[in-house]
Structure 1
Amino acid sequence: MTVLVFVLVALAVLALLALVHRWLWIRLVRDTGLTGWARRTGTAAFIALPLLSVAALTAGRAGAPFLLQQVVSWPGYLWLAVLLYLTLAMLALEPVRAVWLRRLRAASPAPATAPAPAPEPVRVPDTAPDPQSRPASRPESRPEPDREPAPAASEGTASGATGTTRWVFVARTLGGVAAAAALATVGQGTYGVLRGPRVKRVTVPLARLPRAQHGFRIAVVSDVHLGPVLGRAHTQRIVDTINSTQPDLVAVVGDLVDGDVADLGPAAEPLARIRSRHGSFFVTGNHEYFSGAQQWVDHVRELGLHPLENARTEMPGFDLAGVNDVAGEREGHGPDFAKALGDRDRARASVLLAHQPVVIHDAVRYGVDLQLSGHTHGGQMWPGEYLADLANPTVAGLERYGDTQLYVSRGAGAWGPPVRVGAPSDITVVELASYQT
């Protein structure tokens, strides 16, 4: 049943993509009056780009060579981002197009019609014709030379667009505006990802934190998504940013990778150079289970990170716990709050690392003071935050649930398109504050 649902959803998505591409082809290729090589190029692009996008989405799951994944991922994923904002821009300009064309129709004069020729008068002879006289020979009538019909009245030409009808001028103008807006948006969003995450600082007071640990700094890193697009250089930028904050502890809260250790081991290697006073800790995200969670748990341990697999460790003044991601339930390795938190001393403050915010209600039940999560990317690309809000209690930032506080990071990388719009990447330094004097 699950497979059938997946197939039906996949077919519906593919049908929607086909319809969107068909509509954009009509607006940007057919309506703009492209001909010759320009029309052929535009048509080929609207066929090749969606195929590359499908290849980017499926190559990893299909076990394609990593090099092939890299080749198709950049153009395929970037086109998905351009497609989103190109479609939104064209939809936003549809009312403008309709009003503009309506005004052009109203301003166009009705075609002029030539008046019907007046009938020639009939001449009546003064006298009857002589029957014996031969009729005068009439000159042989010759057909008039063919006259070329007058060209149909053009709808007019726009200034600076000689020979182009106003209707085509409208299509080209609006198409150009939409394409420029989409490309500028995606370009800015790509730059925001590739330059690396910025540091965000948040102060979180904990009632049970001892005064001696006031100001304890936790660098929260989530959703790095190393893969065919983001590689070793991106990891190095993240490590440099973490080390620049001089944290007391580093918490990597899932979705570190999209792929196998064999392919991404070199990309993850800079993680071994993270520096903090009390070490670096790791919990799995849903993408680790897509990639083979156990191999990554073993590998990050080799890099010097400490995996918390439904486990807990004591920090100065508080307990640090971590649970597996809920995606691990399919493999029998899901979150186990009883194992991680069940026998702890509740007089001590506690901080929980859990990839998905949805487990906050379990954290409340076990008396956790602060849960640190990621997963949502803050929506990553507007208007994605509204979709993320439907599936998560908190999309980004700090919120309180009973006596438990939840902080959700927007993440340090990007999944799919290496693009962020309205949800900049960050590494958050959570500074714990004590109420005690």
Structure 2
Amino acid sequence: MVIVFVLVGLLALAAVAGLYWYVWRRLVRDTTSGPGLARRAGTVVFVAGPVLMIAAVTAERAGAPFRLQQVLAWPGFLWMALSIYLLLGVVAGEVVRPLLRRVVERRAAPSVALPHPAPVPHPESVPTGAAAPQEPSPVEPPPPVTAPSRRLFVSRAAGGAAAAVALGTVGYGTYGVLRGPRVKRVTVPLAKLPRSAHGYRIAVVSDIHLGPTLGRDFCQRVVDTINATQPDLIAVVGDLVDGSVKDLGPAAAPLARLRARHGSYFVTGNHEYYSGAAQWVREVRELGLHPLENARTEMAGFDLAGVNDVAGESEGHGPDFGRALGDRDTARAVVLLAHQPVQIHDAVKHGVDLQLSGHTHGGQLWPGNYIAELANPTVAGLERYGDTQLYVSRGAGAWGPPTRVGAPSDITVVELASLQA
């Protein structure tokens, strides 16, 4: 089994190295005329980028000194995002190259014109003893553009366009994350919700991912955005952090300023179990949030329940739907906080009316949404599964690259609607 794992790892490493070589060839070797300074500088970038990326991931997972994590995270994770779009740009450039090459060849081809016959002087018009008139010297045509020059021009045009689009995409996607999440509003009708709870507003925030790149200022921006919606209740549905309480406690401190009429509630995500879930549950409780560890509480007009993330099973603290939802009054509506959308199947079995989740980031980096669809029943938005509805937030932050493309971050205000209203 170990040998198979090693072989699969080596094959994956070889595939990634091959893709990097392909992108380097198109963007560096093919765009430079020889082994000069430009080619050496480009090669250094393509070697240093992957090294920093691997170092950033390793430092975070291994719990390296937090300052080192911060130093490595920005260049390493941004290179991760940039390399994706450089590859996509180069692949797209393969379609453009033949067309561009054809245009260049047409412009480089000399125009062919029919020669005009030179006038022949009549003998009687030439005086005796005079020298015969000399023929005018032909005009030399400009030297044609050579094939190597055309190839270099096409490579530079295609490679430059790919690099510019990749840099612009990653730059704008990073700006979108650092700017902070935008507010979405969704109305969800619940058949069992009484008229008295009609219009109840739950601010749902997931996947804040405080860590080496997103810190205290980002957390404060999220808190301010939530408080501005003036919700009745706040639901933090997992993946709050990527690191220990020791390193990220100060970054999470603004959560103490969350304000809602009926309080703030928290359930764990898979990243909490990479970061010390028990310590973080204690920390958020001290910050004024109410952890729902396979537990339920009665609100005005409905029950609010929460289950641990499935990643907790490795520590003996996985989701327990029976404990969270057993022995309840099934005539009352129940809203469940569960980090991962895949938990919807258990929610349906236990008669949940609405599950609120995150985890997917909406794919975060297009075309990652297509990959996320393979592992999650719903990637983003509201969908119905039998009598149970599932709402999945794209999340407020980002894991790895502090960048989002095609999946903008959000904080969602879910407004519950009674059919009796």
- Greater than 2 Å deviation, 4+ residue runs: 3-17, 98-110
In structure 2, the CA distance between the partners of 1:435 and 1:392, relative to structure 1 (3 Å rule), is same
- CA shift at 1:9, angstroms? 4.8
- CA shift at 1:13, angstroms? 3.5
In structure 2, the CA distance between the partners of 1:6 and 1:298, relative to structure 1 (3 Å rule), is farther
Distance, in Å, in 2 between the alignment partners of 1:265 and 1:351 is 29
* Aligned partner of residue 212 in structure 2, secondary structure: coil
Task: Kindly indicate whether residue 91 of structure 2 is the aligned counterpart of residue 91 of structure 1.
Answer: yes
In structure 2, the CA distance between the partners of 1:330 and 1:88, relative to structure 1 (3 Å rule), is same
Distance, in Å, in 2 between the alignment partners of 1:320 and 1:96 is 55
Task: Kindly indicate whether residue 8 of structure 2 is the aligned counterpart of residue 14 of structure 1.
Answer: no
What amino acid sits opposite 1:431 in the alignment? E
Give the aligned partner of residue 370 of structure 2.
386
- Identity among equivalent positions (%) equals 73
In structure 2, the CA distance between the partners of 1:22 and 1:364, relative to structure 1 (3 Å rule), is same
Distance, in Å, in 2 between the alignment partners of 1:201 and 1:109 is 60
Q: So what's the TM-score if we normalise by structure 2?
A: 0.88
In structure 2, the CA distance between the partners of 1:109 and 1:221, relative to structure 1 (3 Å rule), is closer
Counterpart contact for 1:218–1:247, Cα < 8 Å:
yes
Distance, in Å, in 2 between the alignment partners of 1:268 and 1:155 is 66
Distance, in Å, in 1 between the alignment partners of 2:397 and 2:108 is 53
Task: Kindly indicate whether residue 155 of structure 2 is the aligned counterpart of residue 156 of structure 1.
Answer: no
Give the aligned partner of residue 62 of structure 1.
62
Give the aligned partner of residue 248 of structure 2.
264
Q: How big is each residue's C-alpha offset from its partner over 1:3-35, in whole Å with a ceiling of 9 and x where there is no partner?
A: 766655543443222111111111111111254
Q: So what's the TM-score if we normalise by structure 1?
A: 0.85
Distance, in Å, in 2 between the alignment partners of 1:76 and 1:191 is 17
Give the aligned partner of residue 242 of structure 1.
226
Counterpart contact for 2:105–2:150, Cα < 8 Å:
no
* Aligned partner of residue 286 in structure 1, secondary structure: coil
In structure 2, the CA distance between the partners of 1:265 and 1:217, relative to structure 1 (3 Å rule), is same
- CA shift at 1:95, angstroms? 2.1
Give the aligned partner of residue 203 of structure 1.
187
Task: Count residues with an aligned counterpart.
Answer: 389
Q: 2:212 aligns with which of 198, 214, 228?
A: 228
Give the aligned partner of residue 71 of structure 2.
71
Distance, in Å, in 1 between the alignment partners of 2:45 and 2:143 is 31
Give the aligned partner of residue 53 of structure 2.
53
Counterpart contact for 2:63–2:243, Cα < 8 Å:
no
Give the aligned partner of residue 287 of structure 2.
303
Distance, in Å, in 2 between the alignment partners of 1:421 and 1:274 is 28
Distance, in Å, in 2 between the alignment partners of 1:186 and 1:399 is 30
Counterpart contact for 2:32–2:38, Cα < 8 Å:
no
Distance, in Å, in 1 between the alignment partners of 2:319 and 2:4 is 26
Give the aligned partner of residue 339 of structure 2.
355
Q: Which runs of 5+ in 1 are unaligned?
A: 111-152, 159-163
Distance, in Å, in 1 between the alignment partners of 2:284 and 2:206 is 14
What amino acid sits opposite 1:24 in the alignment? V
Q: How big is each residue's C-alpha offset from its partner over 1:326-364, in whole Å with a ceiling of 9 and x where there is no partner?
A: 011111111000000011100001000000000111111
**Root-mean-square deviation over aligned CA pairs:** 2.0
In structure 2, the CA distance between the partners of 1:155 and 1:223, relative to structure 1 (3 Å rule), is farther
Structure whose CA Rg is larger? 1
- CA shift at 1:36, angstroms? 2.1
